[in-house]
């Protein structure tokens, strides 16, 4: 898991709310595995996560997995292709790893915190890795226990990513994202590394609003420091949006710890900033 804490500024956060707060997260993964005689690995994960001065911590829904060579099948609180595919989060920055350049339409992902409202949520997912290519598939039922879960649909998604030396590409298709009918989405991303620098472009197509999003990002490392920047354009018919952008920097403290900060601006021109530390354990 990891820990992170620092200052987070959100312009006009809300009526009566402090714009500047201490943001924090402690994420503890409990992984239990056993490997059978023929090399099949069974595993289960439970996560305890406490964020932003929440007063209590409950465990989430369990995820079960079976792995054999490059194939991994998950059941329960599964990782989804839209959330797992390469490149999609590569414009993130700051100690909270956030970006307006991330996909902006709803989708299902591994649920990190316990929530009784998720009772019945059940996914089946598979990943297959071979020769630098990763393939992802998932089927998620918002509530497997009942015939007609309140008009919600099952979400289906597939994805693939590939890295070969300096070039990385990734693509994903999402059908009925977050169980919302016709919330179909498409993602295509590419990145190129040269020396200490990397640039990438992510494209998202959202069927529901007939909109799309393009995020261009880059980073440059020198010594322990990494500079990061991105711009993201959202094109929604009949809606006027600002260009979102962000600049940030990481300073590596070694052993998986880093000091990170960012200044970002969203599609409505809202400004946010953060500075803090993150450490893995």
Task: Decide: is 152 part of the binding site for its own copies (CB under 8 A).
Answer: no
The footprint of its own copies on residues 115-144 (CB under 8 A) is 115-122, 124, 144
Q: How far is the CB of 22 from its own copies (least distance, A)?
A: 5
Give the alpha-carbon dihedral of 265, 267, 269, 272, to 10 degrees: -30
Q: Are 68 and 39 in contact (CB under 8 A)?
A: yes
Task: Decide: is 62 part of the binding site for its own copies (CB under 8 A).
Answer: yes
The owner of tokens 């059978």 is 36
The footprint of its own copies on residues 12-41 (CB under 8 A) is 16-18, 21-22, 24-26, 28, 30, 32-38, 40
Task: Give the number of residues in contact with its own copies, rule: CB under 8 A.
Answer: 67
Q: Are 168 and 180 in contact (CB under 8 A)?
A: no
Partners of 179 in the β-ladder: none
Give the span between the Cα atoms of 85 and 231, in whole angstroms. 21
Q: Are 262 and 276 in contact (CB under 8 A)?
A: no
Q: Are 246 and 101 in contact (CB under 8 A)?
A: yes
Give the span between the Cα atoms of 43 and 35, in whole angstroms. 9
Coil, helix or strand for 117? helix
Task: Identify which of residues 76 and 106 has a Cβ nearer to its own copies in the complex.
Answer: 76
Task: Identify which of residues 118 and 169 has a Cβ nearer to its own copies in the complex.
Answer: 118
| Contacting residue, 9, 48, 139, 203, with its own copies by CB under 8 A | 48
Task: Identify which of residues 36 and 166 has a Cβ nearer to its own copies in the complex.
Answer: 36
Write each residue from 179 to 208 as x if it is in contact with its own copies (CB under 8 A), else as -, in one continuous string. Answer: ------------------------------
Task: Decide: is 225 part of the binding site for its own copies (CB under 8 A).
Answer: no
The pair of three-digit structure tokens given for residue 60, joined into one six-digit string: 């989430």
Q: Could you report how far apart the first and last alpha carbons of the chain are, in Å?
A: 6
Task: Identify which of residues 6 and 200 has a Cβ nearer to its own copies in the complex.
Answer: 6
Residue 45 φ then ψ, to 5°: -125, 140
Write each residue from 63 to 102 as x if it is in contact with its own copies (CB under 8 A), else as -, in one continuous string. Answer: -x-x--------xx--------------------------
The owner of tokens 């992984």 is 31
Task: Decide: is 57 part of the binding site for its own copies (CB under 8 A).
Answer: yes
Residues that bind its own copies (CB under 8 A): 1, 3, 5, 16-18, 21-22, 24-26, 28, 30, 32-38, 40, 42-44, 46, 48, 50, 53-62, 64, 66, 75-76, 111, 113-122, 124, 144-148, 253-257, 277, 279-281
């Amino acid at each position: 898991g990891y820990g992170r804490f620092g200052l987070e500024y959100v312009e006009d956060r809300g009526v009566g709310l402090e714009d500047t707060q201490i943001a924090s997260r402690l994420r503890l993964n409990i992984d239990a595995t056993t490997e059978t005689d023929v090399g099949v690995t069974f595993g289960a994960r439970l996560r305890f996560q406490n964020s932003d001065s929440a007063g209590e911590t409950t465990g989430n829904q369990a995820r079960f997995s079976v792995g054999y060579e490059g194939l991994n099948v998950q059941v329960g609180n599964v990782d989804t292709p839209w959330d797992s595919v390469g490149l999609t989060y590569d414009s993130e920055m700051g100690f909270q790893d956030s970006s307006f350049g991330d996909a902006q339409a709803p989708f299902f992902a591994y649920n990190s915190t316990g929530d009784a409202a998720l009772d019945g949520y059940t996914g089946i997912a598979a990943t297959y890795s071979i020769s630098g290519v990763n393939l992802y598939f998932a089927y998620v039922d918002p509530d497997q226990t009942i015939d007609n879960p309140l008009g919600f649909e099952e979400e289906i998604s597939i994805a693939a990513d590939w890295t070969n030396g300096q070039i990385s590409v990734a693509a994903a298709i999402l059908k009925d994202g977050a169980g919302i009918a016709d919330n179909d989405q498409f993602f295509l991303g590419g990145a190129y590394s040269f020396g200490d620098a990397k640039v990438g472009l992510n494209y998202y197509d959202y069927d529901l609003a007939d909109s799309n999003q393009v995020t261009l990002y880059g980073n440059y490392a020198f010594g322990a420091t990494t500079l990061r920047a991105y711009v993201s354009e959202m094109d929604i018919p009949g809606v006027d949006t600002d260009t979102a952008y962000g600049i940030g920097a990481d300073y590596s403290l070694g052993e998986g710890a880093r000091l990170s900060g960012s200044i970002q601006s969203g599609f409505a021109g809202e400004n946010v900033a953060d500075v803090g530390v993150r450490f893995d354990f």
